[in-house]
Amino acid sequence: MEFVPLTSDDHKLIDVAQEVLRKNYVPGRHTSAAAVLCSSGRTYTGVSIQTCGYGTCAEPVALGAAFTAGERSVVTLVVVACRLNNYPIVPPCGNCRQLLLDYVPDAFVIMDENGTLKKTAARHLLPGLRIVDDLY
């Protein structure tokens, strides 16, 4: 997997995601938050939504907010979770990796690799899978 170093914009995006989760954390309801930076320079956020029969991760909520606002070019995405009043970066789950591959394969995803923050293109998170062409 190819990694690139983080920029100051990436650190700001992490701060945005962490602040959204701080403000909206509800145990068993909203336990993760995502922030996406679009090529327009605008940032969109989302929190996970848990219910008894299903749940929606924070990534599709944040991407949905961006797409609803007319954005089509996502530059970077980050996901954080609440762990003992701390807000570490967590990797996207398998379903979200597929979502990213289908909709924003060239967007960077910020990851924590053994305590070091790095980012890689979403297309690298599910190696060997074909990208669906022309969804947008």
* AA identity, residue 64: G
Per-position DSSP letters for the chain, written without gaps between them = ---B---HHHHHHHHHHHHHHHHH-BTTTB-EEEEEEETTS-EEEEE-EE-SS-EE-HHHHHHHHHHHTT---EEEEEEEE-BTTB--B----HHHHHHHHHH-TTSEEEEEETTEEEEEEGGGSSTTPPPPP---
CA pair distance 20, 36, nearest whole angstrom:
12
105 HSE (CA, 13 A, CB side): 15
- pLDDT band, very low/low/confident/very high, at 106 (cuts 50, 70, 90): very high
- pTM of the predicted protein model: 0.89
Give the model's pLDDT for residue 35: 98
Locate the domains of the chain by residue range: 8-124
- pLDDT band, very low/low/confident/very high, at 136 (cuts 50, 70, 90): very low
87-97 residue pLDDT tens: 999 999 999 99
DSSP letter at 130 equals: P
Give the model's pLDDT for residue 49: 87
53-72 residue pLDDT tens: 667 899 999 999 999 999 99
Give the model's pLDDT for residue 129: 62
- Domain covering 8-124, topology: Cytidine Deaminase; domain 2 (3.40.140)
CA pair distance 76, 85, nearest whole angstrom:
25
CA pair distance 88, 109, nearest whole angstrom:
14
5-41 residue pLDDT tens: 999 999 999 999 999 999 988 877 778 999 999 999 9
Would the pLDDT of 102 be above 60? yes
